[in-house]
Amino acid sequence: MDQRQTGERRTRDLNWGDARARALMDALAADAAARTGFRVCAIEVVRPRGLLEFVAIHDDADNAADRIGTASRLSDMEQVFADGKPFGHLVWMPQEVYSDASREVMAGVSLIPDIPATGDPADWHPMDMLAARITDERGDLRALLYLDVPVDLRRPDEDRLLRISDELAMTLRSVVTAVEREEYAHHMRVIRATRRLARSAPARHDVNHLLREARATLLTALSVDELEIRLFICDESGATDALGLGMAPDVRQALDEAAGRAWTGQRVLIVEPGQVWGDDGLAAHADWFTGALAAAGFEAVVVAPVGVDDEVLGMLMCARRTGSRRWTDGEGIAALELGHDLGRAIANAHATQRERRLLEELRGVEEARYRFLRELTHEMNNPLTVVTANAELLAVSGLADEHERRVRAILRGSERLGGLLEGLATLSRVSDPHHPPSMQRVDLLAIVEETLASMAAVAERAGIALHRVGESDEAVVLGDPKEIASAVANLVDNAVKYSDPGDEVWLGIERRADGGLTFGCRDEGIGISDSDQADLFLPLFRSTNQAALLRPGTGLGLGIVREVMHRHGGTVEVESALGRGTHVRLHFRS
């Protein structure tokens, strides 16, 4: 058996897949040798880049197993086969028919079997070659099967050659099936690798990273010479015209439109010299592509649309150099599936990037709000202090009644403005993510008791009765004592403020089934309408209820309560009906 070493090298990314596939090919080679009466049988598979790879060698002398996985050029063997004579599936090449060119290809690189050259023209010569060309349904060459050293050491006559061809028909079909099965398995590995890449954290968050890594992964995995990923909306691949075709604007536009039609029809486009498969519109530019492919040295370019749902996002363009075998249907299906996977990954990465940009913008807006509140309260406090101090001085200066009433009005306005500034300062402080709360063990019961004591006089003047109910044992939560006290005080203050004389307010602590604690404040006051409850926690929101508007307030209290609970990982729950009171609960994390 002649073992070509011309251009030979050990394959890396093309070697036969798993042990089961290799065992199948070994069995087919052994069966072919036994069926045909030969001692040696070898199988080479045609690989994408114009290479042949040995995947099985049956040799009863067991002296050629180290050739498994080596590769040689298909073009060299095609040159040698041109000297042979076909017999069915076989090509018979007795050593005397080699041309000088074929002898030059074979000279010094053949592994000659250890059999004598008898000089008898009927005997098998060590340089004789018998090969079968194995093609698929489309007629494309997929593998070669070689037979060497017949058991009787005699050259086969024409009748025997035809019988051998018939005898091998089933084996050759089995080889094609095994090749296509292994090719499919390889495609599935590529698809799984692409999906793992798409799920990686950097790829999910960065389209540029996704495209760079996808190109590097697929360039090797698809066994192509060049690969370009082009996006229609904001091409972020960073690989402008990676194929080097230098497409004219009208050709590029036609290709983009053809990719859109290909996505709709769920097919790939194949561009070969003089022919475009898969799109009649793009076929009008076949002559242009012929010249461009020749200049770039490409045998063919396959275009797989990239998209998600009903939207085409771009295209995956794969090219192989001249001398490579044609694209198979299986490779086209795999490329289309990769277009789906890349489309989903690109859409997700775009969405994530947009979300991150929006979050950054929101953070910027929030930080601007914090700065504005800080600056506002700081700048207004100084003049307010001056106004209040002078008004108090005038109030005790023995002014006439008319002037004294005006001074008292100034003091009341200053007091309300001071309360507003204090609320804004508190809201700014509890809303600032750069200054988290001082977390420590806090007895919620103690805070409720202190709030009751501080609000007792205010409630008594308003004719409101305060009651503590619920848990009476120590109730510890993790939080900032000042912020929690502020939230509780705001709720009780609101309950008193929006109740009428004779009403009652109940406040207390409950232990939940999940082990957490809840502070509740329930009143019999004027209540809150359903429409107002939707905006209840917005800063400076005032009720649309006329009865509520007649009562003083800044609209900041519940906004502060919500921010405090958010910072502590808790929630606020409100139950209310207009004219029937309000029940607010603060649920602290367990």
The residue among 270, 373, 417 whose CA lies nearest residue 331 is: 270
CA distance 574 to 586: 9
Q: For the stretch 232-261, what's the b/e string if a residue is b when 16 or more beta carbons lie within 10 angstroms of its beta carbon?
A: eeeebbebeebbebebeeebeebbeebbbb
Number of Cα atoms under 13 Å in the Cβ half of residue 527: 11
Query: Which pLDDT score, from 0 to 100, does residue 590 have?
Result: 72
The answer to whether 276 and 282 have CB atoms below 8 angstroms apart is yes
Bridge partners, 519 (sequence order): 509, 586
The answer to whether 23 and 135 have CB atoms below 8 angstroms apart is no
Bridge partners, 145 (sequence order): 43, 132
Query: Which pLDDT score, from 0 to 100, does residue 585 have?
Result: 93
The answer to whether 162 and 88 have CB atoms below 8 angstroms apart is yes
Can you say how many angstroms the Cα of residue 493 is from the centroid of all Cα atoms in its chain?
50
DSSP assignment of 6-57 equals: TT-EE-SSSS---HHHHHHHHHHHHHHHHHHTEEEEEEEEEETTTEEEEEEE
Which domains, from first to last, does the chain contain?
9-181 (3.30.450.40), 186-354 (3.30.450.40), 356-431 (1.10.287.130), 440-587 (3.30.565.10)
CA distance 49 to 204: 32
Can you say how many angstroms the Cα of residue 269 is from the centroid of all Cα atoms in its chain?
26
The answer to whether 184 and 330 have CB atoms below 8 angstroms apart is yes
Residue type, 73: R
CA distance 140 to 134: 8
Helices and strands of the chain, counted as H and E runs = 16, 20
CA distance 158 to 357: 76
CA distance 348 to 195: 12
The answer to whether 588 and 519 have CB atoms below 8 angstroms apart is yes
CA distance 541 to 536: 7
Q: For the stretch 439-459, what's the b/e string if a residue is b when 16 or more beta carbons lie within 10 angstroms of its beta carbon?
A: eeebebbebbeebbeebeeeb
The answer to whether 26 and 56 have CB atoms below 8 angstroms apart is yes
- The tens digit of pLDDT for each residue in 174-225 reads 998 888 887 777 767 677 766 666 566 555 667 787 888 788 877 777 778 8
CA distance 385 to 389: 6
What tens-digit pLDDT sequence spans the chain (590 residues)? 444 333 444 443 444 556 777 888 889 999 999 999 999 998 888 876 677 888 888 886 655 666 776 767 788 888 888 888 999 999 999 988 888 888 777 665 456 777 888 889 999 998 888 999 998 888 888 899 999 999 999 999 999 999 999 999 999 999 988 888 877 777 676 777 666 665 665 556 677 878 887 888 777 777 788 888 888 875 444 445 678 888 888 998 999 999 999 999 998 898 888 888 889 899 899 999 999 998 988 888 989 899 988 899 999 898 888 776 667 777 777 788 888 888 888 888 877 778 788 878 877 777 776 676 666 666 666 676 767 777 777 777 767 777 777 777 777 777 666 666 666 667 667 777 777 888 899 999 999 999 999 999 889 998 999 999 988 888 899 999 998 998 999 899 888 888 889 999 999 999 998 888 999 999 998 888 877 777 777 766 666 666 655 566 666 778 888 888 888 889 999 898 888 889 999 999 87
- The tens digit of pLDDT for each residue in 254-268 reads 999 999 999 999 988
The residue among 418, 394, 419 whose CA lies nearest residue 406 is: 394
Query: Which pLDDT score, from 0 to 100, does residue 153 have?
Result: 93
- The answer to whether the Cα torsion of 10, 168, 328, 330 is positive or negative is negative
Number of Cβ atoms within 10 Å of the Cβ of 138? 9
Number of Cβ atoms within 10 Å of the Cβ of 561? 25
Q: Please give the structure tokens belonging to residue 549.
A: 């508007």
CA distance 316 to 470: 67
Number of Cβ atoms within 10 Å of the Cβ of 109? 15
Query: Which pLDDT score, from 0 to 100, does residue 237 have?
Result: 44
Can you say how many angstroms the Cα of residue 81 is from the centroid of all Cα atoms in its chain?
49
0.75 exceeded by pTM: no
Can you say how many angstroms the Cα of residue 100 is from the centroid of all Cα atoms in its chain?
57
The answer to whether 254 and 285 have CB atoms below 8 angstroms apart is yes
